[in-house]
Amino acid sequence: MRKIAFIFPGQGAQSTGMGLSLFENFESAKAVFNKADSVLKKSVSKLCFEGPDEALKQTVNTQSCLLTVSIAALEALKEISKGEIKADYALGHSLGEYSAMYAAGVMDLDNILLAIQKRADLMQEACENSKPGAMSAILGLDETKIKECLAAASSKGLVSIANYNEPNQIVITGEADAVNYANELLKEAGAKRVVPLAVSGGFHSKLMQSASDKFKDFVTALQINDAKIPVITNVDAKLTTKAEDFKTKMPEQISSSVYWTQSIKSLLELGVDTFIELGNGKVLSGLNRKICPPEVKTYNVFDKESLEATIEALNAINV
């Protein structure tokens, strides 16, 4: 019997036109988009389907749009498989963790939409009120050397690791001056590539502490349930099921590192051999190829064609 994990992408996976195929072909997906438009009192659907790109890239829009597409993909999968394709675990990258919590029954659709919009608003506010932030992806340099360079670059300001994306890709974050200095040190230390990211702030760093603190107050009033399946949380790569633990970790996640590589490895150790990426693009599938052994399969659901292909493949192996 295969063990399945549902995985959900985060910021950076967005593209104009995303979710339109799901909306047009599946009533369950259409209902998700309509609910998002209604609850958030803005046209999430139009932003996803028509953009423009610049609007879709804004944090206050990106997070709710990607969440909506991921949940629409999940509901379409449920609809077409008649609920027979189920996950043993759920995991999401940064904002994708909210889709994972929805999949696990931690929050209903209304609450998860309100939570992700509040998170996005507070993060954008933190960007505007803190020192200028930046992020860079570091490819082909081991973690120890990266940490040594960050320690040296901290003389210029706050800089730390944001994402452990895969063994050869780590994202750094912090104050722009410190990140820029770290970029130079990392190149000198032998990084194959140093790629500055087009972001509006130093996400997953202490520059987001004000957002974390304010979100903690917001989360206190949310209706949060125990998870029906374990969610592997970004802040510690550990199985999480208790409502109170989610209430603690949700604010922490905004200003802490995303332990993605460690989370996927934890699932492999638990016997997961099948991943289904639900949401726009194939970013997480690409990371999985670098983390997982070849026999572990990752499938995608982002439109009608990919959904049908995934179900056909899973039926062929009797999932």
Please tell me which residue in 204, 205, 263, 266 is annotated as part of the active site. 204
- Provide the CA 170 distance to its chain's centre, in angstroms: 15
> What is residue 306's predicted lDDT score, i.e. its pLDDT?
98
- Residue by residue, DSSP assigns 45-70 as HHHHHH--HHHHHSHHHHHHHHHHHH
The percent of residues above 70 in pLDDT, for the chain, comes to 100
In sequence order, the 6+-apart residues with CB closer than 8 A to the CB of 148 are: 189
* Segment 229-274, tens digit of pLDDT: 999 999 999 999 999 999 999 999 999 999 999 999 999 999 999 9
> What is residue 198's predicted lDDT score, i.e. its pLDDT?
85
Confirm if 164 and 236 have CB atoms less than 8 A apart: no
> What is residue 319's predicted lDDT score, i.e. its pLDDT?
59
Active-site annotation holds for 94: yes
* Segment 179-190, tens digit of pLDDT: 999 999 999 999
> What is residue 5's predicted lDDT score, i.e. its pLDDT?
98
Handedness of CA 246, 259, 97, 136 (dihedral sign): positive
pLDDT of 318 over the 80 cut: no
> What is residue 169's predicted lDDT score, i.e. its pLDDT?
97
Q: How far apart are the first and last CA of the chain?
A: 7
Bond from prior residue into 52 cis (ω within 30 degrees of 0): yes
* Segment 207-223, tens digit of pLDDT: 999 999 999 999 999 99
- Residue by residue, DSSP assigns 123-169 as HHHHHHHSS-EEEEEEES--HHHHHHHHHHHGGGS-EEEEEEEETTE
What is the average pLDDT across 289-303?
97
Amino acid at 90: A
> What is residue 1's predicted lDDT score, i.e. its pLDDT?
79
- Residue 165 backbone dihedrals phi, psi, to 5 degrees: -75, -45
Enumerate the β-bridge partners of residue 136: 172, 196
E strand or H helix at 76 = helix 59-81
The percent of residues above 90 in pLDDT, for the chain, comes to 96
pLDDT of 18 over the 90 cut: yes
In degrees, rounded to 5, the angle at the alpha carbon of residue 252 between the alpha carbons of residues 91 and 276 is: 10
> What is residue 317's predicted lDDT score, i.e. its pLDDT?
81
> What is residue 150's predicted lDDT score, i.e. its pLDDT?
98
d(C-alpha 231, C-alpha 7), whole Å: 10
**C-alpha pair distances (Å), 28 with each of 32, 177, 292:** 7, 47, 32
Pairing of strands 193-196, 274-278: unpaired
What is the average pLDDT across 277-289?
97
> What is residue 140's predicted lDDT score, i.e. its pLDDT?
97
Q: Mean pLDDT of all residues in the chain?
A: 96
| CA-based nearest residue to 70, from 53, 38, 93, 43 | 93
* Segment 94-152, tens digit of pLDDT: 999 999 999 999 999 999 999 999 999 999 999 999 899 999 999 999 999 999 999 99
What is the average pLDDT across 145-162?
98
d(C-alpha 77, C-alpha 25), whole Å: 12
Please tell me which residue in 94, 257, 266, 306 is annotated as part of the active site. 94
> What is residue 113's predicted lDDT score, i.e. its pLDDT?
98
**Residues listed for the chain:** 319
Q: If pLDDT is split at 50, 70 and 90, which confidence band does 316 have?
A: confident
> What is residue 186's predicted lDDT score, i.e. its pLDDT?
98
- Residue by residue, DSSP assigns 180-218 as HHHHHHHHHTT-SEEEE---SS--SSGGGHHHHHHHHHH
How is residue 216 written in tokens? 């903690």
Enumerate the β-bridge partners of residue 91: 7
d(C-alpha 91, C-alpha 258), whole Å: 11
Active-site annotation holds for 93: no
